[in-house]
A and B are shown apart, each in its own frame.
Chain A
Amino acid sequence: MGEVSNKAITSEISPGIIDFRENSKIKFTLYEDGIFETECFPDTVMTYEDGLESTRITSEILGKIPKPLLCDLSNVISMSKECRKHFAGEDHAKTFTKCALIVTKPIGKMIGNFFLGLNKPLKPTRIFLDRKKAIEWLKESD
């Protein structure tokens, strides 16, 4: 990873997308169908501060209306326990109605399983290998 800057940048918005921002580690996208997606850049190391900043940017985009979260862990190579704890906690549960974790690589799968097993997130959370199935589940109760 290069120099870390958490300042969010709003990029040009494509069709089907309501809002898009990115910082040095994560891309944040709010789609017209109500799904909010976070995707990390390659080889991302997530710290507690990154977790807090991610929630702050998300809250800025969503306001006070919680949305279903599609979180792609494929590019994450490490996530601190404090960060996992934050994502499992109350602040995150207030921001999102449910969370689908996409794990396509071994490390992401390991982090996802730790998150579900040890951190026990407050919001409904499931692990998916397939993006399409994840989106279907996120839309189920919406």
Chain B
Amino acid sequence: MNCIAQNIMSKDERLSQILEMIERIAALDLDHKLPVSKNNDRLDAISLGLNMLSEELKDNTVEKEQLDKTNKKLEQFAYSTAHDLKSPLNSLSGLVYLLANTVSEENSDAQDIIVKIASTVDKMKNLVHGILEYSVVADPTELKSEVNLKEIVNEIIETDRYEDNITIRVDHFEKKIEFNRTILLRILRNLISNAVKYCDKPNCEIKIKVTEKENKAVISVIDNGPGIPFDEKDKIFELFHKYDPEGTHESQGIGLATVKNLLQSTGEDIWVESKEGKGSNFYFTIGVNDNIK
């Protein structure tokens, strides 16, 4: 728009243009530009400011799309690399077993080395398994079905064979929850196994509750473990980030990243509330209100 046209425009017309621009920005239509006259008045400053915001937002949106694509490629690369490593690692594991049986038990030096090799191979296998778990996100085409939390938790307890000092209690929830059962099982298995692994009390108590908040079902996994410092609350969900101040736990830093990845791939979220020494409360959302009947 030329300057003369801009100058004869009324204040109301200019305000209407500004409102329209804000609506366009809200709709992520970021190619529009407001005219800025040489009057250098406050409406010109607002118009220029909106133009600059729109431009910056467009750049950030494009940048984010590129980053998302790169991340996707990296995840695919990690998956295929982990997948390709799985088979040779299994072979190596078998060979170490054969070697252990071949070397005389009296040769303690050699046996020690074999034990160390076997332990290293196991760590590598766990890492590869973790990367594969992380990379396999939810299949959006998989249908949701009614899930029974108690039944899922019982399945985890039976499969993972927890010791007697571990109590897992699932609170009764009257309404019906619908979600992808496989994903929910993976999420709960990860959270429960973390609570068990890091528990520092003689009796490990885990409580699972469901509440409703803002049209979502919120499942919380509450433990009586050592808790998590405030500045670790977000970091613990990052891939390969390990929080283990004592350095006494075997961890790849993949479990919670996998849980977050699984939830985000279904449009859900996870967060933690915790006080050091007083346990942690992991919350995650599932479904919308339609799924709770």
Contacts and interface: CB of A to CB of B under 8 A. Distances in A.
Nearest to B44: A107
B42 A43 contact: no
Contacts of A109: 45
Given A107-B48, A114-B49, A81 B40 contact: no
Contact of B48 (A43, A78, A118): A78
- The listed residue with most B CB atoms (<10 A of its CB), out of A43, A81, A106, A111, is A106
Nearest to B42: A106
B40 A107 contact: yes
Nearest to A74: B40
Interface in A63-117: 77-78, 81, 105-111, 114
Interface residues of B, number: 14
B59 interface: yes
Contacts of A43: 38
A106 B37 CA distance: 12
A110 B45 contact: yes
A111 B48 contact: yes
A4 to B, nearest CB: 17
A106 to B, nearest CB: 3
A118 B40 CA distance: 22
A78 B45 contact: no
Chain B binding surface, main DSSP class: helix
B59 A81 contact: yes
B54 to A, nearest CB: 11
Contacts, number: 35
A108 B38 CA distance: 12
Chain A binding surface, main DSSP class: helix
B15 interface: no
- The listed residue with most B CB atoms (<10 A of its CB), out of A105, A110, A114, is A110
B56 A77 contact: no
B36 interface: yes
B67 interface: no
Contacts of B55: 81
Nearest to B43: A106
A78 B52 CA distance: 10
Contacts of B42: 106
Contacts of A105: 40
Nearest to B38: A43
B48 A110 contact: yes
Contact of A118 (B38, B45, B56): B56
Interface string A108-142: 11110010001000000000000000000000000
B160 interface: no
B118 to A, nearest CB: 52
A109 B48 CA distance: 11
A110 B40 CA distance: 11
Contacts of A110: 45-46, 48-49, 52
Interface of B: 36, 38, 40-42, 44-46, 48-49, 52, 55-56, 59
16 contacts: A43-B38, A77-B36, A77-B48, A81-B52, A81-B55, A105-B40, A106-B41, A106-B45, A107-B36, A107-B40, A107-B45, A107-B48, A110-B45, A110-B49, A111-B52, A118-B56
Given A77-B48, A110-B46, 13 more contacts: A77-B36, A77-B40, A77-B44, A81-B56, A106-B40, A106-B44, A107-B36, A107-B44, A108-B40, A109-B45, A110-B45, A110-B48, A111-B48
The 10 closest A-B pairs by CB, nearest first: A106-B45, A110-B45, A105-B40, A110-B49, A106-B42, A43-B38, A107-B45, A107-B40, A114-B52, A110-B48
